[in-house]
């Protein structure tokens, strides 16, 4: 089974964490053709943390886990901290393929999304 | 003339600020039909700050400025800090229409973008 784990920074404001969980549900509604399982995890400050989130997907039967960093810039979190957390889960589960996708801000589709956001507001 | 100002948090890592400026250039390549001017500004830690960024667009002839918050969650920055900075520019330029669009994380297109990011990595 193929799984996605959307990873956000995590916030002391539980409302912000809930916002990510709701977004994950919206992705789930669209992703059934490509992925069997999808969940949210956080780098810090909120639960589940990345290794727990990956483990939960594996326990549900995932053979492949794709970690998708919901981050805007290639800072230390994207370059170092997320790979380090993913490595812990990989070490505990050597037979599972665990990959990390490009972070959100690097998406080729980002310029179009920003333009769409601006145009839709201009029309209001 | 219609202008967009893409507003990011700003980082001590100049590389992250440059990432936003490059993204703005990519939006500019696509936005000519809708907007005449486009630039980047930062809430803090980088230059120009929001009031300066808005003023520069007005000095170039903008009658309408749309501020687009490049932020993922509706935290204090989106709810309070950006509107407060925009209000300063509005106060200094009462005849210019200055609006703030939805922040990036609230975009209806975000679930599709995340799925696209995941699917393109799965195919690699």
Region of A107 (left: φ > 0; alpha: ψ -120 to 50; beta: rest) is beta
Structure tokens at A98: 């665990």
Q: Is residue B123's pLDDT more than 90?
A: no
| pLDDT at residue number B69 | 98
| pLDDT at residue number A122 | 79
Taking the Cβ of residue B101 and every Cβ of chain A, the question of whether any pair is shorter than 8 Å is answered with yes
- Of A61-65, A83-87, B70-74, the one with minimum mean pLDDT is B70-74
Q: Is residue B15's pLDDT more than 90?
A: yes
At A18 the three-state DSSP class reads helix
At B90 the three-state DSSP class reads helix
Angstrom distances, CA of residue B10 to CA of B18, B21, B33, B45, B113 = 10, 11, 28, 5, 23
Q: Is residue A89's pLDDT more than 80?
A: yes
Best to test chain B binding among A39, A73, A103 (most B CBs inside 10 Å)? A73
Closest CA to A26 of B49, B100, B112: B112
| pLDDT at residue number B27 | 97
Q: Which chain A residue has the Cα nearest residue B117?
A: A107
At B83 the three-state DSSP class reads helix
| pLDDT at residue number A123 | 75
β-pairing, A64-69 with A37-42? unpaired
Q: Give catalytic status of residue A77 as yes or no.
A: no
- Of B23-27, B50-54, B73-77, B120-124, the one with minimum mean pLDDT is B120-124
**Residues in B touching A74 (Cβ below 8 Å):** 15-16, 19
Q: Is residue A75's pLDDT more than 80?
A: yes
Angstrom distances, CA of residue B77 to CA of A14, A85, A111, B100 = 16, 28, 22, 13
Cβ distance of B8 and A72 shorter than 8 Å: yes
Cβ distance of B114 and A27 shorter than 8 Å: yes
Closest CA to B100 of B24, B6, B17: B6
Instruction: Give me the mean pLDDT over the B15-37 stretch.
Output: 95
Cβ distance of A101 and B116 shorter than 8 Å: no
């Amino acid at each position: 089974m193929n799984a996605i784990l959307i990873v956000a920074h995590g916030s002391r404001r539980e409302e912000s964490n809930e916002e990510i969980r709701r977004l994950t549900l919206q992705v789930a509604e669209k992703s059934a053709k490509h992925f069997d399982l999808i969940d949210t995890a956080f780098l810090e400050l909120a639960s589940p943390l990345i290794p727990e989130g990956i483990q939960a997907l594996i326990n549900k039967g995932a053979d492949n886990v794709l970690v998708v960093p919901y981050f805007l810039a290639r800072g230390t979190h994207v370059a170092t901290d997320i790979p380090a957390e993913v490595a812990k889960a990989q070490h505990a589960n050597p037979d599972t393929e665990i990959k990390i996708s490009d972070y959100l801000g690097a998406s080729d589709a980002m310029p179009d999304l920003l333009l769409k956001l601006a145009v839709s507001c201009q029309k209001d």
